[in-house]
Amino acid sequence: MADYKDYYKILGVNKNASDAEIKKAFKTMARKYHPDMHPENEKATWTEKFKDLNEAYTVLSDKQKRTIYDQVGQADYQNYARGGGGNARSRATGGNPYQQYQQYSYDAGNGFGGFSGGGKTQFSGGFSGGDFSDFFQSIFGGLGGMQGFGNNFGRSAASGQAAGDVEAELTLNLEDAHRGGNMQLTIPNGRTVTVKLPAGVGEGKKIKLKGMGNPTQRGTGDLYLVIKIRPHAMFRLEGDDLYVPVTLMPWTAALGGTIFVPTLDGPVQVKVPAGTHSGKKLKLSGKGLSSKGSLYITLTIDVPRTLTKEQKELFSRLAALE
């Protein structure tokens, strides 16, 4: 089996860390680890570190996955990996003691969140389920982050649908909902299916899987996957529109200039008009969750915490001109 990964250590938090502390740690570490923040000849190394960071956040930020991870525990996992057979429960049942956890449903992985505008290297992005490690997959299953059923599987479908029809929430990260494409899922009846997600699929949309519902005397009903999109660390979603905060340095706000702004398709250049005030919003049409949506940028002016001697002199001269 794969080596145990200490997700708490990777994120730099203790085992009692709150959700807010985990999110804050991820944002801080993501800026440090992101490959775009390092020289080209070091990107491969930092890419692997960033994958571990993203994987740790994917698990610890999700209540169900975190509970499972804590239940497995380092000692029991390593004992099984050495051939010790795991705990009493796993020795009694035989086989992989973590197979039971792979039957749990869980949300798709998180995308990376974090951005700062004006004068420095800009970055955005995320890793998909294919980037999860063997350790992650040994506990949560070979499908990794591509599986995303919520807790509402098996409820009756909406009024007016045939008997035997059922609904299940399919939770996606924002990047996967935006890109769409084929996704392999193991539905709770144990069957593995390939689902084609339309690009820009929104919250509450339904995808019909014919003949995948409950059996009835008249035949088998249909399964309706109800899309749920997980909150993102950087973007806020409203309908098809996205909202993102971006910081500006004071001189960019005063003089105007070009900054890089994150989108779900990668960073784009945006012109900032001279005399921009904190709180000003810019709109990028067609850059939302789908081509119908827009990206709304809220600009905030960031005052440097430390100034060089020359910068202090320049600000003093500006203050004297008022």
| Residue pLDDT, tens place only, 53-63 | 888 888 898 88
What is the pLDDT at residue 295?
A: 96
Superfamily classification of domain 7-146: DnaJ domain (1.10.287.110)
Stated as kind and residue range, the H or E segment containing 197 is strand 192-197
What is the pLDDT at residue 234?
A: 83
pLDDT higher for 238 or 36? 238
Question: Is the whole-model pTM more than 0.75?
Answer: no
Number of H helices, E strands in the chain: 10, 14
The answer to whether the CB of 146 falls within 8 A of the CB of 183 is: yes
- Listed by start position, the domains of the chain span 7-146, 155-229, 236-321
| Residue pLDDT, tens place only, 263-296 | 988 888 999 999 999 999 999 999 999 889 999 9
- Specify the DSSP class assigned to residue 255: H
The answer to whether the CB of 250 falls within 8 A of the CB of 210 is: no
What is the pLDDT at residue 8?
A: 95
What is the pLDDT at residue 160?
A: 53
pLDDT reading at 137 higher than 90: no
**Quick one: fold of 155-229?**
HSP40/DNAj peptide-binding domain (2.60.260)
Mean pLDDT of 117-142: 51
Q: Do domains 155-229 and 236-321 have the same CATH topology?
A: yes
Tell whether domain 236-321 is in CATH 3.55.50.30. no
Q: How confident is the model at residue 17 (pLDDT cuts 50, 70, 90)?
A: very high
| Residue pLDDT, tens place only, 176-235 | 899 888 887 777 666 778 888 999 999 999 999 888 887 777 788 888 889 989 888 789
DSSP per position, 126-176:
---GGG--HHHHHHH-TTGGG--B-TTTTEE--TTSPTT-EEEEEEE-HHH
